[in-house]
Amino acid sequence: MRRLLLAAVTLTSLLVQPAGAQDADAVALRASRVFRGLSSLRASFQQTIEDRMVGSQESRGELVQSGNANLAMRFDDPKGDAIILDGTYVWVYTPSTAPGQVIRMPIPNDPVYGPNVLARILDKPTERYATRWIGRDALEDRGVDVVEFIPNVADPLFSRAVIWFDQQSGLPRRLVLDELTGIHRTLTLSRIRINTGVSRKDFSFEVPAGVRIIER
């Protein structure tokens, strides 16, 4: 009888485990397949950057992405700020803090992932990261699985990432990074549209009149 009770207790404890609690790898691999299959992604974003030196900064705008080296973040708040990856250069234009100039620098020389953090994480995620299923959550009334990623080897960008994946679509809805610079970054995506038409204009930056280009 004692053995039967022990077996029943063990079985019950397994049954009441949150579904997927042991399946962080499965969630990550599904998200990897979905993300690598996209031709483009558009979304509204909200970003929070927490830095011990300058405090907390919040911003919002629209994000467009296509491939690893084409990304545009155009800000509504602060109005007019932009970060553009045009396939060759990164343009950082922040008139809210540095009027009259735009920084231009070559896209970081990563032959596989370029500057795309999500591509970096979601390519072979279970081989390159230790994953841990944190739990379930909801964003905009949509169920999400929350998974932690710890690099198996030193990563030049971050020491820890946590991603909220939409349970229905498999798409990333929120990304939290502990960056090696000491910055804690949270990027939340909403109104996601995938595989919509994109053009070169989406990823081009026209230098405003009177703005000086600073090479980095």
- Which sign, positive or negative, has the C-alpha torsion 187, 190, 195, 199? negative
In a domain, 18, yes or no: no
- pLDDT of 214 strictly over 50: yes
How many other CB atoms are found less than 10 A from the CB of residue 203?
20
**pLDDT band of 109, cuts 50, 70, 90:** low
Domain that holds residue 197: 24-209
In a domain, 7, yes or no: no
**What pLDDT sits at residue 113?**
47
The residue among 133, 147, 144 whose CA lies nearest residue 168 is 144
In a domain, 35, yes or no: yes
The residue among 67, 74, 63 whose CA lies nearest residue 88 is 67
Strands (E), 54-157: 55-65, 70-77, 79-86, 89-93, 101-106, 129-139, 142-151
In a domain, 3, yes or no: no
- Which sign, positive or negative, has the C-alpha torsion 167, 169, 174, 176? positive
pLDDT tens profile 124-157: 899 999 999 999 999 988 999 999 999 998 777 8
**pLDDT band of 189, cuts 50, 70, 90:** very high
pLDDT tens profile 3-12: 333 333 333 3
Compute the distance between CA of residue 146 and CA of residue 29 in angstroms, rounded to an integer: 13
Give residue 127's identity as a one-letter amino acid code: E
**pLDDT band of 110, cuts 50, 70, 90:** low
The strand pair at 101-106 and 212-215 is best described as: parallel
Compute the distance between CA of residue 156 and CA of residue 184 in angstroms, rounded to an integer: 15
Three-state DSSP state, 117:
helix
pLDDT tens profile 21-77: 459 999 999 999 999 899 999 999 999 999 988 889 999 999 999 987 889 999 999
Mean pLDDT of 206-212: 96
In a domain, 57, yes or no: yes
Q: What is the pTM of this model?
A: 0.83
**What pLDDT sits at residue 80?**
96
The enclosing domain of 170 has a CATH number of 2.50.20.10
Q: What's the structural domain count of the chain? A: 1
- pLDDT of 19 strictly over 80: no
In a domain, 214, yes or no: no
**What pLDDT sits at residue 5?**
34
Mean pLDDT of the chain: 86
In a domain, 11, yes or no: no
In a domain, 114, yes or no: yes
177-182: long-range contacts (C-beta < 8 A, 24 or more apart)?
A: 177/117, 180/155, 180/156, 182/51, 182/52, 182/53
